[in-house]
Amino acid sequence: MNRLTVIPRSLLRTHLCKLSKPAARITPVRGVLAGVPQRTFTASAFLSKKGSNSKKDKHAAEEAPASSSSPSAAAETVDFDVEFKKLESEIARIEDRLRDDLAKLRAGRAEPSLLEGLPVTLDKAAGSSAPLRDVAHVVSKGRGLAVTVYEAANVKRVVSAIQLADLNLQPVVDAQNPQVVNVPLPPPTKMARDANSKKAAQLLHKALDALKNTRLVTHKKIMGVRKLRPDDVKKGEKKMEAIIKDRKKEMEDTVAAAQKEILQG
């Protein structure tokens, strides 16, 4: 049998009053949760970077006028008189070298290399030998060669090496210095004179090539300022071409005279 629970009337009334009260309204907060701490964001880093770029742009803008004026400054630094002095100096060097080489041909001067590689027998029994350059020093002397032997014991060996070299040379021991061997050259034959004349023509060709290269260097310097100094460039070109023409004629005349002398013997 179920037992019934009896609730006092006063308790029942209190409970009903609580249920009849309206529920508390909750006001929603948009975008954030109530009671949660919020973090503030900033774009200061980006602003700082942008500021640094702006400084660079400003610095570049300040430098722009200076760089734009650099071609003009470079044009002002090209001194035509200085360039022509350099041209004349280089041409003089080429002419000096040409004259020296022609003098050797006219004199029939032999080069030390003609003898320096000859084998000199030092010990027949052992079969040992050495290049002449290792036992003596060879220099040009007039129309021949002078061989200075380092050790007196090798003088006869050096003389024998020259005689056996099939060069048609007759070495002679110097009367004043027994360790010096003089090697006179025979008079040039017609074949030798013709060969030397051809060598003179080759020397001229080599000198003219050097002259051409020197002209190109000067021409490049002059033409580098043609847009800023057109009048000076025209005058400079005329002067340069006149110098080259005169020096070329001098070289050709020098070689022609040398060839005539060589062929006459």
Give the model confidence (pLDDT) of 31-75 as tens digits: 444 444 555 545 444 444 444 455 555 444 454 444 444 555 555
Whether residue 190 has pLDDT greater than 70: yes
| CB 190 within 8 Å of CB 51 | no
Average pLDDT, the chain: 79
Cα distances (Å, whole numbers) of residue 163 to 120, 158, 206, 207, 262: 11, 9, 35, 37, 27
Q: What is the pLDDT of residue 163?
A: 93
pTM of the model: 0.51
3-state secondary structure of 226: coil
Domain range 113-184, CATH architecture: 2-Layer Sandwich (3.30)
Give the residue-averaged pLDDT of 133-159. 93
Q: What is the pLDDT of residue 203?
A: 95
| Maximum average pLDDT range among 16-25, 64-73, 175-184 | 175-184
**At 72, which amino acid appears?**
S
Domain range 78-106+189-264, CATH architecture: Orthogonal Bundle (1.10)
- Percentage of residues of the chain with pLDDT beyond 70: 70
Q: How many Cβ atoms are within 10 Å of 251's Cβ, its own excluded?
A: 20
Where do the domains of the chain lie? Answer: 78-106+189-264, 113-184
